[in-house]
């Protein structure tokens, strides 16, 4: 929205920046999701377009970061239909590697072993977040977020 | 009026912004109901928008129902025969897709 419009109607900010209205129900969902994540489960968060799935995921990631019990990793690739297991493994490497010039092994067996060692080194459970997961690999995945 | 026709935060954000922008152009303050009515998409709760909000666009539906995209587009715009429309609706319901 243009600032002229906002000023005309006395709005301090755009509606999109109005804040997060948390209902009892949404609080319960976040609480349940955090428990499921901590239990090491595969969780699918689904809902209609625009209902707040992505926003909720961001809040959960922030909450996990603040709790410091679980490391949050996230696949950032926008081309969801091109995402493969290798892409997700790469996302984990990028988010977990502590060395500045870390190189991801190209050979699959070596790569997976390196990831296993990296996970052990970080000494915390890891949650991998994938937004818009319904488009993964040509729509094969059933989870949405 | 908005709460009757809209259901998600994204819709409220979009249409409130549209209404204020359009009302601003003609200097309307406060924004009146007719302005809101004008900016709301006429077919906002039609079959195609509802399915799209659930993640089922024409391409996905064509794959799911084993139909041609052109036929799905006709189905969504209500231009198929009643018999075939009924078949596709039954197939969607059988697949667990809410209509």
Chain A hits for B7, Cβ within 8 Å: 48, 51
* Confidence at residue B1, expressed as pLDDT on a 0 to 100 scale: 81
* Confidence at residue A137, expressed as pLDDT on a 0 to 100 scale: 62
Does B54 share its domain with B84?
yes
Which residue(s) pair with A129 in the sheet?
Answer: A74
- Contacts A–B by Cβ distance under 8 A: 49
Does B57 share its domain with B88?
yes
Residue B16: closest CA among chain A residues belongs to which residue? Answer: A15
Model confidence pLDDT, tens digit, residues A66-84: 988 899 999 988 887 778 8
Which residue(s) pair with A72 in the sheet?
Answer: A127
Residue of B72, B27, B21 lying closest to B48 (CA atoms): B72
**Is B17–A134 a contact, with Cβ atoms under 8 angstroms apart?**
no
Does B32 share its domain with B69?
no
What percentage of chain A reaches a pLDDT higher than 90?
49
Domain hosting B17: range is 2-39
Does B74 share its domain with B90?
yes
Does B17 share its domain with B56?
no
Q: Count Cα atoms within 13 angstroms, Cβ side, for A134.
A: 15
Q: How far is A62 from chain B (nearest CA, A)?
A: 21
Cα A24 to Cα A140: distance, rounded to the nearest angstrom: 33
Cα distances (angstroms) measured from residue A25 to each of A38, A112, A118, B54: 20, 39, 37, 20
Cα A70 to Cα A61: distance, rounded to the nearest angstrom: 9
* Confidence at residue B34, expressed as pLDDT on a 0 to 100 scale: 92
The 3-state DSSP class for residue A126 equals: strand
Domains of chain B: total: 2
Does B53 share its domain with B87?
yes
Chain A hits for B44, Cβ within 8 Å: none
Q: Does B32 touch chain A (CB under 8 A)?
A: no
Please check the confidence at residue A140 and state whether its pLDDT lies above 70: no
Residues B46-70: what's their mean pLDDT? 90
Model confidence pLDDT, tens digit, residues A9-35: 999 999 888 887 888 998 999 899 989
The 3-state DSSP class for residue A4 equals: helix
Residue A32 lies inside a defined structural domain of this protein: no
Domains of chain A: total: 1
Residue B99 lies inside a defined structural domain of this protein: no
**Is A49–B52 a contact, with Cβ atoms under 8 angstroms apart?**
yes
Cα B38 to Cα B34: distance, rounded to the nearest angstrom: 6
Cα B34 to Cα B67: distance, rounded to the nearest angstrom: 41
Does B76 share its domain with B52?
yes
The 3-state DSSP class for residue A22 equals: coil
Q: Which two tokens stand for residue A85?
A: 């297991």
Residue B53: closest CA among chain A residues belongs to which residue? Answer: A49
Cα B31 to Cα B24: distance, rounded to the nearest angstrom: 9
Cα distances (angstroms) measured from residue B70 to each of A32, A111, B44, B87: 42, 45, 22, 16
What number is the ipTM of this complex?
0.73
**Is A139–B60 a contact, with Cβ atoms under 8 angstroms apart?**
yes
Please check the confidence at residue A142 and state whether its pLDDT lies above 70: no
Chain B hits for A134, Cβ within 8 Å: 55
Chain A hits for B55, Cβ within 8 Å: 48-49, 134, 144
Domain hosting A81: range is 39-139
Burial level of A60, CB count in 10 A (0-12/13-18/19+)?
Answer: buried
Chain A hits for B45, Cβ within 8 Å: none
Would you tell me how many other CB atoms lie within 10 Å of the CB of residue B35?
17
**Is A8–B10 a contact, with Cβ atoms under 8 angstroms apart?**
no
């Amino acid at each position: 929205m243009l600032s002229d419009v906002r000023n005309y109607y006395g709005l301090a900010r755009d509606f999109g920046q109005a804040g997060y209205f948390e209902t009892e129900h949404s609080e319960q969902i976040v609480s349940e999701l955090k428990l499921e994540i901590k239990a090491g489960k595969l969780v699918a968060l689904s809902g209609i377009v625009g209902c707040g799935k992505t926003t909720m995921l961001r809040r959960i990631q922030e909450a996990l970061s603040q709790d410091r019990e679980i490391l949050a990793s996230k696949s950032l690739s926008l081309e969801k239909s091109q995402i493969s297991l290798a892409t997700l493994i790469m996302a984990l490497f990028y988010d977990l590697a502590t060395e500045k010039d870390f190189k991801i092994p190209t050979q699959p067996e070596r790569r997976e072993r390196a990831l296993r060692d990296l996970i052990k080194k970080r000494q915390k459970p890891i949650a991998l977040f994938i937004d818009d997961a319904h488009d993964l690999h040509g729509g094969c995945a059933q989870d949405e977020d | 009026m908005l709460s009757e026709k809209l259901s998600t935060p994204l819709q409220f954000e979009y249409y409130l912004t549209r209404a204020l922008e359009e009302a601003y152009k003609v200097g309307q303050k406060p924004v009146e109901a007719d302005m809101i009515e004008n900016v709301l998409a006429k077919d906002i709760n039609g079959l195609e928008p509802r399915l799209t909000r659930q993640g089922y666009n024409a391409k996905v539906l064509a794959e799911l129902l084993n139909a041609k995209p052109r036929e799905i587009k006709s189905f969504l715009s209500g231009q198929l025969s009643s018999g075939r429309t009924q078949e596709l609706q039954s197939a969607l319901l059988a697949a667990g897709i809410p209509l």
